[in-house]
């Protein structure tokens, strides 16, 4: 019987391909409570039995990925998979993120069918702004120092329903400088608006497809230094989002 080289294969975890064997094992160890759960959900075909046996043998020696590793991951899609594997319940238990603001927007956006015919799609979009304790994420420089808090918007892709955490600066999250942190006025929409950065004034309208932002120029548009959208611009200029 042919022996597969498991190390040479490419692995798919939580709908994302391209992981090495070691990465996939560590992700699965975080995701599944026991090897039984792993086998039930991953070994779904007799052709995978040999791989299931291989994982069963080493299961106890696999180190699951940590929350800190997930938060340090720069690639948002990989970060999404890591959070998915760790699970929101464990993420919240370990990090105890403080929910600062939650807003649900009722949006009506233009979409097109397969014949390029325009229609209006109405949906609810939820944004949550969190503060994370920097000391749980970073090693302090010394025993007297404390790491600054980290702010992140938790949002869901309106097409795939995947959950994303996107980091934003404190001044945007709270709308006050660092030394007036206690007077901050957190706003999840202001935070997500900040993630769109343009370099033209007076755009006619904005289209968003995933992480790609397309701004249509108007007759009055002109080039400026890059700037981030404010809440009002975000609410008024987004014409289509998918």
Walk across the sheet containing 118-132 and list its strands. 98-112, 118-132, 150-156, 163-168
* Smallest separation (angstroms) from another protein to the CB of 131: 11
Instruction: Specify the pairing of strand 150-156 against strand 163-168.
Output: antiparallel
Question: Cβ(137)–Cβ(148) under 8 Å?
Answer: no
Q: Decide: 218 and 200 in contact? Cβ < 8 Å.
A: no
- Min dist CB 242 to another protein, Å, is 4
Nearer to another protein, 181 or 208 (CB): 208
Q: Which is nearer to another protein, 126 or 148 (CB)?
A: 148
Comparison of 56 and 233: residue with beta carbon closer to another protein? 233
The candidate with the shortest Cα–Cα distance to 16, out of 90, 96, 76, 99, is: 76
Q: What is the DSSP string of 59-120?
A: GGGPPPP-HHHHHH---HHHHHHHHHHH-HHHHHHHH-PEEEEEEEEEEEEEEE-TT--EEE
In the complex, minimum distance from the CB of residue 128 to another protein, in angstroms, rounded to a whole number: 15
Q: Minimum Å distance from CB 12 to another protein?
A: 10
- Name the residues that contact another protein, by CB under 8 A: 16-18, 72, 74-78, 111-112, 114, 116, 118, 134, 137-138, 148, 150-151, 159-160, 166-169, 172, 195-200, 204, 207-217, 221, 226, 228, 240, 242
Which DSSP category does 46 fall into? G
> DSSP state, 23?
H
Q: Closer to another protein by CB, 56 or 213: give it.
A: 213
Residue number with CB closer to another protein (18 or 177): 18
What is the smallest separation between the CB atom of 197 and another protein, expressed in angstroms? 5
């Amino acid at each position: 019987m042919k022996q597969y080289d498991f190390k040479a294969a490419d692995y798919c975890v939580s709908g994302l391909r391209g992981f090495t064997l070691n990465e996939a094992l560590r992700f699965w160890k975080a995701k599944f409570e026991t090897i039984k759960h792993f086998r039930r959900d991953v070994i779904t075909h007799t052709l995978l039995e040999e791989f299931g046996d291989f994982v069963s043998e080493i299961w106890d020696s696999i180190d699951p990925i940590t929350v800190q590793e997930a938060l340090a991951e720069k690639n948002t899609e990989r970060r999404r998979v890591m959070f998915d594997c760790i699970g929101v319940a464990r993420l919240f238990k370990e990090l105890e993120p403080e929910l600062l603001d939650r807003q649900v927007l009722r949006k009506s956006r233009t979409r097109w069918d397969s014949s390029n015919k325009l229609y209006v799609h109405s949906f609810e979009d939820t944004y949550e702004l969190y503060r994370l304790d920097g000391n749980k994420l970073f090693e302090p420089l010394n025993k007297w120092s404390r790491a600054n808090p980290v702010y992140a918007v938790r949002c869901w892709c309106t097409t795939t329903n995947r959950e994303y955490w996107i980091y934003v600066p404190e001044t945007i999250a709270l709308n006050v400088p660092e030394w007036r942190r206690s007077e901050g006025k957190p706003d999840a929409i202001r935070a997500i608006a900040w993630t769109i950065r343009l370099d033209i004034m007076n755009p006619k309208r904005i289209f968003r497809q995933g992480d790609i932002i397309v701004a249509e120029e108007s007759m009055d548009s002109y080039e400026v230094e890059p700037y981030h959208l404010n809440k009002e611009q975000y609410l008024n200029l987004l014409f289509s989002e998918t």
